[in-house]
Structure 1
């Protein structure tokens, strides 16, 4: 792929966008009950992203969230905090980070490209696990992916105090491991899970990386997940322990790198 130009050339949204629903705030215990594993990640009280518990002690998010906005400088690990099901100042569970990893294939500075978005995946290891009885984690989808309806649960600028859910938006098309959605995203939505509901309880098929405009329409960019998550887990296990106040960049072989910025981290 040659970056976002290829996406713009290949992707045209022939699907009926009329099925796409409006974003809705999950402002009651009942509406938020199924989405407790989606939480807000705060970085030193200066920025936030969305993230999802995928194991008792692992949070999935976007790699660019782990970098201070507009730089290649990583947030100190001891200033990262995950609040599961955060709503109106309260969380089902809150944990500090013990470790974090941004995929080595991701470049934190520059323009958003489709290739770089495919590596925009990060993992945060929590200082203490969260009980699965208290907060059931979501699985990462590793089956077939095709255009069609998905849903997104996220935080965002102007709605940072409660989760918002778009019950149905569309995965419009795919080029390689890059995907384009018509989901309603904004600053703070970075790292938000994109769910497929084709196999019962929602499974995470992608993570929101950034936003572009295609033919005048706002579109969200995400990536295929299974390989990226597997690579990050393996490297986190193998890596020698690093100092507490440092986020490690993970090396997974060679490969080409694109350029992108921290598109949805709140300054």
Structure 2
């Protein structure tokens, strides 16, 4: 097993890949009507990108910023071009709305580098509040310790019409508390999706992944990156 420092050094040299470039791991479908998965939604855009997002307030969701970047134009999409869908399962859904505003790191320019990964988050101010029957996902106060297990959820490319969960995630490191590195296999569509602890609390959102030796390493932005924005 490679030391954590070596893994992170290799990632820094290679740069992060989109979550869609990771190897497919063992993932299972979950009940979208059961907590905490009720707060996990699809993020669909009019640029035909599809990612995952998380409800963190009655009228607020979080996802990966790169999901909102239109590579064809070199610009971020307008808020109303971003759709957020909760309870999605094989064509049925519990709630759907668009964004009325988007908040990102002021330095976010859409670049896809390892150095920029800690800025890869976006808060979606939703045009309509989610139903009171759907509770926002609570935020974890602390990051897990090295080796601690947790879950990653998303609408992966192989089962885009149903939420799946990877239960094989383990904490590797949180360098400078700005980025989570985890041994976890995630694929296309998981970008913006939650990493969730055993108590159903949000640890961070998946933003990139790489294959390092025989290990799938996922990168996530912790909730501390955007927690202060929640009160604005």
* TM-score band w.r.t. shorter chain: 0.7 to 0.9
Shift of 1:68: 1.4
Equivalent of 2:105 in 92, 103, 107: 103
Shift of 1:6: 8.0
Residue number in structure 1 paired with 2:16: none
Residue number in structure 1 paired with 2:125: 125
* RMSD (Å) for aligned C-alpha atoms: 2.5
The alignment status of 1:40 with 2:63, answered yes or no, reads no
Structure 2 SS opposite 1:208: strand
Report the TM-score, using the length of structure 1 for normalisation: 0.72
Shift of 1:216: 4.5
Residue number in structure 1 paired with 2:145: 146
1:88-237 to structure 2, matched below 5 A, reads: 88-110=90-112, 112-113=113-114, 115-132=115-132, 134-147=133-146, 148-176=148-176, 177-197=178-198, 200=199, 202-230=200-228, 232-233=229-230, 237=232
The question of whether the paired residues in 2 share the 8 Å contact of 1:85 and 1:163 is answered with no
Shift in CA distance, 160/209, structure 1 to aligned 2, threshold 3 Å: same
Structure 2 gap ranges (5+): 13-24
Shift in CA distance, 105/150, structure 1 to aligned 2, threshold 3 Å: farther
Structure 1 gap ranges (5+): 12-20, 238-267
Report the TM-score, using the length of structure 2 for normalisation: 0.82
Supply the distance in 1 between the matched residues of 2:9 and 2:33 (Cα, whole angstroms). 36
Residue number in structure 1 paired with 2:26: 22
Residue number in structure 2 paired with 1:74: 76
Shift of 1:179: 1.7
Runs of 4+ aligned residues of structure 1 deviating over 6 Å after TM superposition are none
Supply the distance in 1 between the matched residues of 2:175 and 2:45 (Cα, whole angstroms). 32
Tell me how many residue pairs correspond in the alignment: 213
Shift of 1:217: 2.6
The question of whether the paired residues in 1 share the 8 Å contact of 2:100 and 2:127 is answered with yes
Structure 2 SS opposite 1:33: coil
The question of whether the paired residues in 1 share the 8 Å contact of 2:47 and 2:70 is answered with no
Supply the distance in 1 between the matched residues of 2:73 and 2:230 (Cα, whole angstroms). 25
Shift in CA distance, 45/105, structure 1 to aligned 2, threshold 3 Å: closer
Shift of 1:213: 2.4
Q: Which structure has the larger Rg?
A: 1
